[in-house]
Amino acid sequence: MLRDAVRSLAEAKIGPFAAEVDEEARFPQQALDALVTNDLHAVHVPEAYGGAGADALATVIVIEEIARVCASSSLIPAVNKLGSLPLMLSASEELKAKYLTPLARGEAMFSYCLSEPEAGSDAAGMKTRAVRDGDSYVLDGVKRWITNAGISEYYTVMAVTDPEKRSKGISAFVVEKSDEGVSFGAPEKKLGIKGSPTREVYLDNVRIPADRMIGAEGTGFATAMKTLDHTRITIAAQALGIAQGALDYAKGYVRERKQFGKPVADFQGVQFMLADMAMKIEAARQLTYAAAAKSERVAAGGGDSDLTFQGAAAKCFASDTAMEATTDAVQLLGGYGYTRDYPVERMMRDAKITQIYEGTNQVQRIVMARNLP
C-alpha cells in the first residue's frame, strides 16, 4: 500500500517536472510541496516529534519510488534523514524536540556537513574548528559538497574541538541558516541530480549556544560514522529507484520500437540485456531491504553486529547496478537514448553520483573488507 501510494504521487506530482528540473537545474519545489502535503518529506521522524515514525524499510521504499521518476527529488527525504539522524542517535531530548518537530511539520529541511575541500574520504582530516567561549562555541571553516545547501534551514556540522585527538577530537553541532556568519557558495555545475543544489557552506566566526552540541564533546566523528551506517542504505534505495525507472522505460520502449519487421524486444540479444538488468536490480533490492531491516533492528537496540558491512554492501552493489542498468537502458534506446527527449540519459547521469557520495564505492569496499561478517 505504501509503495502504491508513493508511486501514484510520484508519477502524478513529481515525474512531470523531472526533465524541467534537470534542464533548468532548479530545486524541485513542486516535489517538496507534494511530499510535505502527504507527510513523505521526512518519514523517518518519530511520532514523538510529530513525524510519521516510519521504519528504515518504509523510508527506503519512499526514497526508491521517488527516485524512480526523479533522483533529485528523492534527495529530499534521503538528506532530511542524513542531516537529522545524528540528533536521533546522540542528541539530548531538548535538542531533538527543538529541531525534529519543525522538520516533521515540513517547516524546515536538514543538511549534513561532513566533507571539506581537503577532507573527503579522509573525513577525520577536517579543518573546521569549534572553539568554546563561555556558553557558546565559535565555528570557523568551509564545508564542501553539501546537498540542499541554501535550501535547508538546519545543518548538522562536524567540527574539530580538540586538534590533538584527530577523530576523537571532532564534535557535532546544529547550525541554523540564519546564524550570523553562515553563507553559501555558488551552486556546483553538476553532471546529474541537477535539481538538488550542492554548495559550499561557509562558517565565518559563527557563534552558537553550547547546548547545540549533539552528544558529548569529542563524539561527533563516531556519531557521523554511525549515521552513515544507516543512511548509506538510503543511497542504495535511491540507486535502486533510478535503476528501476530506467528498466521500466527501456522495457516499454523495446516493446513498441520495431526493426526488421518486429518489436526490438523479440530479439534474443535485447532480451538477455533486459534479463540481466532485472536480475541485478532485484538482487540489489533484496540486499537493500535486508540492510534496511538490519538498520531498524540496530536502531531499536538490537546490536550492530554487521550493519556496517550490510550498509556498505547495499550502497556499493545498488549504485554499481544503477550505473550499469542506466547505461544499458541508453543502449537499448539507441540514438534516442542519447538525447534529452527521453529520460534514460538523465537517469544515467543521475546514477553516477550514487557511486561517489556518502563514501565512494572504493571506500565502501575498504569498509566491507574491514567488517567482514
Please give the positions annotated as active site. Answer: 358
Compute the radius of gyration of the chain from its Cα atoms.
Answer: 21
**φ, ψ dihedrals at 208, nearest 5°:** -130, 155
The Cα 292–Cα 296 span in angstroms is 6
Q: What is the three-class DSSP state of 132?
A: strand
Contacts (Cβ under 8 Å, ≥6 apart) of 214: 86, 87, 90, 91, 95, 156, 171, 172, 173, 174, 220, 223
CA 143, 67, 350, 314 torsion: positive or negative? positive
- List the alpha helices (DSSP H) in 91-219: 93-105
Q: Which three cell numbers stand for residue 315?
A: 550502497
The Cα 364–Cα 308 span in angstroms is 10
**φ, ψ dihedrals at 27, nearest 5°:** -60, 135
DSSP state of 13: I
Q: Which of 87, 60, 134, 132 has its CA nearest to residue 311? A: 60
- Name the one residue in this structure whose C-alpha cell is 540486499: 287
CA 49, 54, 55, 61 torsion: positive or negative? negative
The Cα 293–Cα 283 span in angstroms is 16
Element (DSSP H or E) covering residue 16? none
